[in-house]
Amino acid sequence: MTRVLGFHGVRNYKAADTTFARGGARLTADWLEALGPAGAGLDLQHAYYADLLRDERQGGEPTEDELALVGEWAAAWGVELDGVQGRATGWLRWVCGQIAQRTGERPAVVERTVKLFFPEVTRYFATGRTEVRKRVREALLRHRPEIVVAHSLGSVVAYEALHELGTELEVRLLLTLGSPLALPNAVFHRLAPGLSDGRGSRPAGVGRWVNIADTGDFVAVPKGELARLFSGVEQRPDITIAPLWPHYAHDYLRHPDVGQVLTSAR
C-alpha cells in the first residue's frame, strides 16, 4: 500500500476528539470516504494538530491581529483600503462585499471564509507554530509517507515541516489543495525557512510538488502566484469543486484531478 499523510486545514477541532490520535482517525475516515475509489490502496493517516490551534472564543469578534491579516488578504484581491476608517465588524463586511463583487460570489460566503480561516492562521504564526511543527514532524517520521496531501493551512504546516526535515525524509509527492502559501505578508513573508531572492522553494526531500486550487477559492489567492513565487511547483489548471463554498477539503478530494494526481504518484 502507498503511505499517505494528510494535513488538514482550519476548523477541524471537535470536542469528541479526546486525543490527537482520535482526531487523526476521524479525519482519515472522512478523507477516505471523500476520495472514494481514488483512496483504494492508500495507507492514509493524518497529522492532526487542530487541538493545538483551538479557538476558545468560539466564533467571537475578530481580534486586531486577525483583522490585520484580513487587510493584507484584501489587498491581494486588489481592494483599495486607503481612506477606509477603522477595522471593525462593519469594515469586515465591507471588505467581504468588495471581494464578493470581484468574484461574483455572495458576500455571506466570503465572510464565512474569512471567519473560518484567519483566526487559526493568526494563532499558528503567533503562538502555535512550535508545538504544531513538533507534532507533525513526529507524524512524518513515524509514518514516513510516500505522498503528503495538504489542504489550506495544512499546506503551510507541511511546507515548513518538510523543509525542516530536508533529506531526512524523502516524499515522492507533495499535493497542496487550496493553499494560501502565496498570500503576501499574511503567509508568504512569514514562512520558515525565509525566502531566497524573494522566492520559496520545493522542500529538498520532495520529489514532485503539485498545487491545485478552485478558481473561486478565496484562500488560495493570488491566482497563479504560487507557481511564480515558489520554485519546483507544478500548478495544475484551476478547477471548480463547489459553487457554495469553494474551499472545502472534501470537495477537493472528490475532484477527478486530485484522484488522477494521486494515482500517477503510486
> What average pLDDT score do residues 85-114 get?
78
Residue range(s) in the chain whose domain bears CATH number 3.40.50.1820: 2-55+124-264
Tell me the pTM: 0.90
Q: Name the DSSP letter for residue 39.
A: G
> Distance of CA 121 to CAs 83, 88, 253, Å?
26, 19, 22
Q: Which tops the pLDDT comparison, 83 or 99?
A: 99
Which of 140, 32, 192, 23 has the alpha carbon at shortest distance from 148?
140
Q: Which of 53-57, 82-86, 114-118, 255-259 has the lowest mean pLDDT?
A: 82-86
CB crowding 50-74: b at 16 or more within 10 Å, else e: bbbbebeeeeeebeeebbbbbbbbb
pLDDT of residue 133 exceeding 80: yes
2-55+124-264 adopts what CATH topology? Rossmann fold (3.40.50)
pLDDT of residue 21 exceeding 70: no
Measure the N-to-C terminal CA separation of the chain; round to a whole number of Å. Answer: 9
Residue 84 sits at the vertex; the CA angle it makes with 93 and 69, to the nearest 5 degrees, is 60
pLDDT of residue 59 exceeding 90: no
C-alpha cell at 191: 514562512
Contact by Cβ (8 Å): 55, 17: no
- Give residue 69's pLDDT: 86
The C-alpha atoms of residue 59 and residue 72 are separated, in whole angstroms, by 21
What SS3 class is residue 216?
coil
Tell me the average pLDDT of the chain.
87
pLDDT of residue 99 exceeding 90: no
The C-alpha atoms of residue 16 and residue 125 are separated, in whole angstroms, by 26
Tell me the pLDDT tens digit for each residue of 209-254: 999 998 878 788 766 788 899 999 999 887 888 766 677 899 999 9
pLDDT of residue 16 exceeding 60: no
The C-alpha atoms of residue 132 and residue 120 are separated, in whole angstroms, by 12
